[in-house]
Amino acid sequence: MPTFSDLAIPVMLLAAGRGERMRPLTDHTPKPLLEVHGKSLLQWRLEALRRDGTGPVCINTAWLGEQIEAALGSELQAADPSQRPLALHYSHEGRDFGQALETAGGIARALEHLGQVFWVMAGDVYAPDFVFAQQAVARFQASTQLAHIWLVPNPEHNPAGDFAWDPVSGLASSPPKEQAAQRYTYSTIGLFRRELFLPPWCDLPPANPRGQRSGLAPLLRLAMAQDKVSAALYTGAWTDVGTPQRLAQLNATARA
C-alpha cells in the first residue's frame, strides 16, 4: 500500500501576478486572496489539495505577497486532527527581485521546493471540483512525457483556445489557429517533470538566481513539437477569475 510520502506530490501554486484587469479590487488585495463564496481563491485550491492527499505546496508571490503569507501561514490544518497539516512554502519573487518572474521563471526559481514530478496550478482559477488524482500522477510518472496538462472548453474571453488535443494519442500540440480543427484553453492545471525547467529544455540557470522572467507557453510548445506533452479534457466547473465582472458572476451563482 502506498505511504503518505508516496502520494504527497509537491504543488506549485502561482500567485505572483499583479491582476491588472481586476483593478481596483487588486490595488490593495492580491488577486488570489479575493473571495468566492466566502473563501479566498487560494483557500479553495489548498483545501482541495489537502482533501486529495497531495502537497507540500510552494506559493510564489510578488504583488502584495506579504499579505498572502500573512493570511495563510506555514501550514493548513486538517479538520481531522489525526491528519497531517498541509505544509506551505513561499518563493517571494517581489521581495527578492522586485518583480514577478512569469510562470517558467517562477517555477525554475522554486525547484528546490519541488520534486521530480509536481503539480502546477494558477492560484486565481476557480475549479472547485477538480480532483488531484493519484491515478493521474501514477500514469504520468510511468510515461516519458515532460508535462501532462488539462484543457477546458474555450470560455467566451478566449474563443480561439490555446492548444490542440488528439483524444486518440492523448497528445497536445500547438498548430497555427487556422490549421487546427479544434483548440482548447489551457486550464493552468498540469503535472510537470523537473527536467522541463532545466537545460536543454529551459535556458535558465538552475534556481534562476538572477530572477530572469520566462513564460511557460514557449517551453510547452517546444516540448509539444517533440510529442512530450500529453493532455486531458476537463469539463467540470472552471473559471479564470480575470475580471471583477467574472468574480461578481461567480459570487452571484449559488454554490452546488
**Band of the pLDDT at 45, cuts 50, 70, 90?**
very high
CATH number where 112 lies: 3.90.550.10
pLDDT digits 0-9 by tens, 219-250: 999 999 999 999 999 999 999 998 999 999 98
pLDDT of residue 14: 96
Please give the average per-residue pLDDT across 151-173, as a whole number: 92
Q: Name, of 5-14, 65-74, 125-134, 223-232, the range with top average pLDDT.
A: 223-232
pLDDT of residue 180: 60
Q: Return d(Cα 241, Cα 13) in angstroms, integer.
A: 15
How many domains does the chain divide into?
Answer: 1
**Band of the pLDDT at 198, cuts 50, 70, 90?**
very high
Phi, then psi, of 35 in degrees rounded to 5:
-100, 140
Omega before residue 167 within 30° of 0, cis:
no
* Helix 65-72 × helix 41-51 angle, to 10°: 50
Dihedral sign, CA of 200, 107, 246, 187? positive
Contacts of 109 (CB under 8 A, 6+ apart): 60, 91, 93, 101, 207, 208, 211
The answer to whether the beta carbons of residues 172 and 231 sit under 8 Å apart is yes
β-bridge partners, 147: 192, 229
pLDDT of residue 159: 87
Reply yes or no on whether the pLDDT at 109 is more than 90.
Answer: yes
Query: Taking the model in full, what pTM does it have?
Result: 0.91
H or E stretch covering 51: helix 41-51
pLDDT of residue 2: 33
Q: Give the domain range for residue 12.
A: 4-252
pLDDT of residue 66: 92
Reply yes or no on whether the pLDDT at 7 is more than 70.
Answer: no
Reply yes or no on whether the pLDDT at 3 is more than 60.
Answer: no
pLDDT of residue 254: 59
C-alpha distances out from residue 79 to 21, 47, 129, 147, 250, Å? 35, 10, 19, 32, 26
β-bridge partners, 58: 12, 89
Residue type at position 170: G
Instruction: Provide the percentage of residues in the chain whose pLDDT is more than 90.
Output: 68
Please give the average per-residue pLDDT across 169-197, as a whole number: 89
Residue with cell 482541495: 48
Query: Which of these ranges, 29-43, 74-88, 146-160, 192-206, has the smallest mean pLDDT?
Result: 74-88
Instruction: Provide the percentage of residues in the chain whose pLDDT is more than 70.
Output: 92
Strand boundaries in 114-182, DSSP class E: 117-122, 125-126, 147-152, 163-165, 172-173
Computed over every residue of the chain, the mean pLDDT equals 89
**Grid cell of 32 as nine digits:** 488570489
Please give the average per-residue pLDDT across 79-102, as a whole number: 86
Please give the average per-residue pLDDT across 22-29, as a whole number: 90
**Band of the pLDDT at 89, cuts 50, 70, 90?**
very high
